[in-house]
């Protein structure tokens, strides 16, 4: 009986340590953002809001 409980606990621990951290890593990536400096105005904008032009990042405001 004690052996079955230990085996069950090991199976639960293996599932927890190998499957649960994979779901947490996706959430951590959403929290962190990369910022780049606009070559024209010098402000820092997120990488999603910048445009790469001739190897330099330009914010969308400067493109207008």
Structure confidence by residue, pLDDT tens digits, 20-40: 766 665 544 555 578 899 999
pLDDT above 90: residue 7? yes
**For position 19, what pLDDT does the model report?**
78
Close Cβ partners of 59 (under 8 Å, ≥ 6 residues apart): 38, 40, 41, 43, 45, 49, 50, 51
- pLDDT tens digits along 8-23: 999 999 988 887 766 6
- At residue 43, the pLDDT reads 92
Q: What is the pLDDT of residue 30?
A: 53
User: In angstroms, rounded to a whole number, what is the distance separating the alpha carbons of residues 64 and 61?
Assistant: 6
């Amino acid at each position: 009986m004690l052996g079955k409980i230990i085996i069950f606990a090991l199976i639960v621990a293996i599932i927890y340590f190998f499957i649960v951290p994979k779901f947490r890593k996706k959430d951590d990536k959403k929290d962190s953002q990369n910022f780049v400096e606009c070559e024209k105005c010098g402000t820092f904008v997120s990488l999603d809001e910048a445009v790469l032009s001739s190897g330099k990042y330009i914010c969308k405001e400067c493109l207008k």
